[in-house]
């Protein structure tokens, strides 16, 4: 991915920006609010990209000039000033390159959506359930730090205080673009609190990040749904509600089934179950569409498939490793307190570089 490649790609995007300007100058577009919003958002993103690209070009030019000056300068005080300017410019260039890489990517169809996240313990029994609970709380803290709104949709606790399953929504700016990288299998290596011999155990937790679908987006026939009601249960299976407030909805054509017992109201649990079901159906439709596209050759490392092992949390070594991009992060306690900022930022940049390389070579 050379500067010449990027410059060529930028010129292609300038043509696209001109096309969008023509659309925005047509008064009839304002009678189509959804299209107007989409076109305006894409145009603004391109304008910001061009501005940052100009800043990057100017910074690169100034850096080159400073390096030439440094080679000719003899005055110690001026040398120190030039070296300081070079350091500042190098930092600015790196930051702008990261911004440009993200902006060069084609817009994700889900980038403006909120998300529903489901966490389930997999291999490892109660230890997996405990880690699932810790991961859930870490996501909550990260969301709070971003100013996002979190709503728990469904929650079932395990016997020792972990979770059997949890589903929750996150509402806020840039949510899907940030959290989509969490989909997959998370592996944890540590000595469980219940382990008397001090042996390290390996457990796994699955995370599904679903783009939330609006009710009007998907046509779901009433005859395709089956609703069952039952009594809510707590840890160990004991009943915690004497009325049939829990709801399970099954989408008969796909076999997808979602249960909710979070609320005391049967009506509210039905709403929650339908929200999760719509998100799963939207994901299925989008995956089917991607499978039809010849451009999707699975060249990217990390497809977002929830069956893919994406990350290992090695507690004895205080190390988190993202296997998709070979990124390591050495602050596990901080991560479990919600400090995902650095890890997810590096993941987004690595993903952007890979996809951009594919786009530029295409």
Residues 81-121: pLDDT tens digits?
Answer: 999 999 999 999 988 988 888 788 776 777 777 899 999 99
- How many whole angstroms separate alpha carbon 3 and alpha carbon 164? 50
Does some domain include residue 109?
no
262 in the same domain as 325: no
List, edge to edge, every strand of the sheet that includes 327-329. 149-157, 163-171, 115-121, 201-211, 184-190, 309-314, 319-322, 327-329
Q: Which of 61, 84, 104 is the last residue of a domain?
A: 104
320 in the same domain as 192: yes
- How many whole angstroms separate alpha carbon 146 and alpha carbon 152? 17
Does some domain include residue 31?
yes
Token pair 């989409």 in the structure block, residue: 38
Do residues 319 and 332 lie in contact, with contact meaning Cβ atoms separated by under 8 Å?
yes
Number of domains in the chain: 3
309 in the same domain as 283: no
Single out the residue of 69, 200, 213, 26 nearest to residue 127, CA to CA: 200
278 in the same domain as 146: no
Whichever domain contains 198, its CATH number is: 3.30.70.1660
143 in the same domain as 247: no
Q: What are phi and psi of 6, to 5 degrees?
A: -65, -40
Q: How many residues does the chain have?
A: 362
Q: What tokens were used for 315? A: 């507690």
Is pLDDT of 244 > 80?
Answer: no
Name residues whose C-beta falls within 8 Å of residue 140's C-beta, 6 or more positions apart in sequence: 150, 168, 338
Structure letter (DSSP) for residue 111: T
241 in the same domain as 197: no
Q: Considering the chain, what percentage of its residues have pLDDT values greater than 90?
A: 38
Q: Is the pTM of this model over 0.75?
A: no
> DSSP string spanning 181-224?
GG-EEEEEEE--TT-SS---EEEEEEEEEEEPPPTTTS---GGG
- pLDDT value, residue 241: 53
* Burial classification of residue 110, based on how many CB atoms lie within 10 Å of its CB (0-12 exposed, 13-18 middle, 19 or more buried): buried
Does some domain include residue 110?
no
- How many whole angstroms separate alpha carbon 98 and alpha carbon 313? 26
CA angle 235, 142, 311 (to 5 degrees): 75
209 in the same domain as 226: no
pLDDT digits (tens, 9 = 90+) for 192-225: 877 767 788 899 999 999 888 776 567 788 888 8
Residue span of the structural domain in which 310 resides: 115-214+304-361
pLDDT digits (tens, 9 = 90+) for 110-168: 777 789 999 999 888 888 999 999 999 999 999 999 999 999 988 888 888 889 889 99
139 in the same domain as 182: yes
95 in the same domain as 136: no
Higher-confidence position of 155 and 238: 155
Structure letter (DSSP) for residue 358: H
pLDDT digits (tens, 9 = 90+) for 282-333: 888 877 776 665 444 343 334 445 567 899 999 999 999 999 989 999 999 9
Whichever domain contains 235, its CATH number is: 3.30.160.20
pLDDT digits (tens, 9 = 90+) for 34-52: 788 778 878 988 999 999 9
Q: Which of 78, 104, 130 is the last residue of a domain?
A: 104
Q: Which of 268, 292, 316 is the last residue of a domain?
A: 292
User: Mean pLDDT over all residues of the chain?
Assistant: 84
278 in the same domain as 151: no
184 in the same domain as 41: no
What average pLDDT does this structure show over 15-36?
Answer: 90
Does some domain include residue 297?
no
Do residues 231 and 241 lie in contact, with contact meaning Cβ atoms separated by under 8 Å?
yes
230 in the same domain as 209: no
């Amino acid at each position: 991915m050379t500067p010449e490649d990027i410059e060529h790609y930028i010129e292609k995007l300038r043509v696209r920006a001109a096309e969008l300007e023509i659309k925005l100058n047509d008064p009839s577009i304002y009678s189509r609010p959804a299209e107007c919003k989409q076109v305006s958002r894409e145009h603004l993103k391109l304008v910001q990209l061009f501005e940052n690209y100009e800043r990057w070009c100017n910074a690169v030019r100034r850096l080159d000039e400073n390096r030439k000056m440094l080679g000719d300068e003899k005055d110690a005080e001026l040398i120190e000033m030039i070296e300081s300017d070079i350091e500042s410019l190098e930092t600015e260039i790196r930051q702008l390159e990261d911004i440009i890489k993200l902006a060069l990517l084609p817009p994700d169809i889900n980038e403006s959506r909120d998300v529903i996240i489901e966490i389930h313990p997999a291999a490892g029994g109660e230890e997996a359930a405990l880690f699932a609970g810790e991961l859930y709380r870490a996501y909550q803290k990260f969301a709070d730090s971003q100013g996002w709104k979190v709503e728990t949709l469904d929650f079932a606790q395990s016997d020792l205080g972990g979770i059997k399953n949890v589903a929750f929504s996150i509402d806020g700016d840039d949510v899907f673009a940030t959290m989509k990288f969490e989909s997959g299998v998370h592996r944890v290596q540590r000595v469980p609190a219940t382990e008397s011999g001090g042996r390290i155990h390996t457990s796994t937790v699955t995370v599904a990040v679903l783009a939330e679908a609006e009710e009007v987006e998907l046509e779901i026939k009433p005859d395709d749904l089956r609703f069952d009601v039952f009594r809510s249960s707590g840890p160990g299976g004991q009943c915690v509600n004497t009325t049939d407030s829990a709801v399970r909805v099954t989408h008969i054509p796909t076999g997808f089934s979602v249960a909710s017992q979070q609320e005391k109201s049967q009506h509210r649990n039905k709403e929650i179950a339908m929200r999760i079901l719509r998100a799963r159906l939207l994901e299925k439709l989008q995956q089917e569409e991607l499978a039809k596209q010849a451009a999707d050759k699975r060249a990217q490392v990390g497809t977002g498939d929830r069956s893919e092992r994406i990350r290992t949390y090695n507690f004895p070594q205080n190390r988190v490793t993202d296997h998709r991009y070979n990124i390591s992060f050495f602050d596990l306690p901080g991560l479990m307190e919600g400090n995902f900022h650095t890890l997810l930022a590096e993941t987004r940049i690595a993903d952007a570089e890979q996809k951009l390389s594919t786009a530029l070579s295409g």
